[in-house]
Every structure is written in structure tokens, then in C-alpha cells.
Structure 1
Amino acid sequence: MRMTIPVAKVLAALLTDREAPRYGLDLMRLTGLASGTLYPVLHRLQAAGWLAADWEEVDPVAAGRPARRYYRLTAEGVRAARLALAELRALASDGPTPRGGAAPTGAPAW
């Protein structure tokens, strides 16, 4: 899996509360990503086996909205996401020191 900033944002959002069902609009709000960026990331994660997706069982008329597709990390996805984000944080903390200052501290805000 190629780790990009959008992928890292989606993984971090999904890891914040692994038990919470997440749907597209929810993930867009959490990550700040537009749908044209989010959905290709979700498809890539699903193709890699890191993400499972299921349609909500709801009557759209009674709910007053279309059924949502809920996404959750698989066990492999949780393991891989934690490892990938830890590697990114390590790289960020080992990055170049800004001119005239100390290296930045803390984890990046994905």
C-alpha cells in the first residue's frame, strides 16, 4: 500500500474509534478530504484487504435518506494501519531540522 497523506488521514480516522461505524460523509468530515479523494482511498484500502464495507440495512423512505455504506478496518487493516502510521511518525520525527531551530516534536496531526 502506497502511504500518502490522504491514506494516512483515513487510517488515522478509522483507528480513532475502531468500533464506530464510519460512512463516507462521516469520514469526509473527520479527514477534511473531498469525496473525489476519499472514495479512491477507500477502494484501495478495501482491495488491499485492510478495509471491509457493508451496506446499512435501512428503509430509505422511513429513514428519509439513502442507505449508507459503512467501513471498518479488518484485523489485518488495524495491524497494518498502526504499523504504517508509526513508521510515518518516526520518519516525521527524524526529518530535517528547520533552519536555526530544533527538530519539531510531537506526532504529526494526520
Structure 2
Amino acid sequence: MVRDRRPSPQTAAVLTALAASGEDWSHGYDLCRDLGLKAGTVYPILIRLTERGLVETSWETDPPRGRPARHLYRLSTAGAEFARTVAATARTGQSAPAPGAARLAPRTT
């Protein structure tokens, strides 16, 4: 059985912020600051979204001198589609489908 659960408000906020960035990369710290959420909230969300194929990650290739490279995040194609679905269902008040629900459905053999 597949759970059809709406993303948490924090997850929806992260998706919306990444969608607003388009194809540009975002830093986790900037997301925390812009959304007013703590790192202990944002980074686990980013990890879950990455594991589900909704977010792409990369390392910063040319960090400023004296600072280590940071992780960068942006929505994948599937993530952008899911973010649009979440935004649309938020406007209508319906429940958003679980990300990858079709992929997680039990197989019948």
C-alpha cells in the first residue's frame, strides 16, 4: 500500500525555494536563512529529496579562498514537476501525491 501524504510545510517551502531558483544552484545555508528554518530541518529534507531523485546535488567547484567547498542543490526534472504539483494542490487545498508514488506501488506478477 502506498501512502498518499502531503509534504510537510517545511518540505513544501524547500521545494518552492528551489523551484524559484530555476536551474541555478542553491546553498543549504542560503535556504536556511531565506526560509527561516534551522539546518537540522533543511538538510534532512534535502537529503530525503535527493534520495527520491527530486533534487540534484553537486560540490562547489571554485570556493572562495579560505572557505571549504559547499554542497549545491537544485531541483531535478522530476523535482520541478513535483514542486509544480505541490504548488497547484496548495492553491486548491487538495492533497498532493507522494513523490514517486507510481514508482513505489507494489508490483503484481
**TM-score (normalised: structure 2):** 0.75
RMSD: 1.7
* Aligned with 2:22 (options 3, 18, 21): 18
Q: Equivalent residue for 1:56?
A: 60
With a CA cutoff of 8 Å and minimum separation of 6, indicate the structure with the bigger relative contact order. 2
| AA in 1 matched with 2:51 | A
The runs of at least 4 consecutive aligned structure 1 residues that moved more than 6 Å come to: none
State the match for 1:32 in structure 2.
36
DSSP-derived class of the 1:63 partner: coil
- The worse-fitting range, judged by mean Cα deviation, of 81-90 and 35-44 is 81-90
Matched, 1:44 2:62: no
Q: Does 1:86 align with 2:57?
A: no
Greater Cα radius of gyration, structure 1 or 2 = 1
Aligned partners of 1:19, 1:79: CA distance in 2, in Å? 13
Q: Give the fraction of aligned pairs with identical amino acids, expressed as a percent.
A: 40
State the secondary structure of the residue aligned to 1:54. Answer: strand
Alpha-carbon spacing, 1:47–1:2, altered in 2? closer, same or farther (3 Å): farther
Instruction: Give aligned pairs, total.
Output: 90
Match of 1:68 among 51, 67, 70: 70
> Is this contact kept in 1: 2:23–2:75, CA < 8 A?
no
Counterpart-to-counterpart distance in 1, 2:84 and 2:65: 35
Q: TM-score, normalised by structure 1?
A: 0.74
Assess, with a 3 A threshold, how the Cα gap between structure 1 residues 64 and 2 changes in structure 2: closer, same or farther: farther
Unpaired segments ≥5 residues, structure 2 = 95-109
- Which amino acid is the alignment partner of residue 14 of structure 1? L
TM-superposed deviation, 1:2 = 4.7
| Matched letter for residue 80 of structure 2 | V
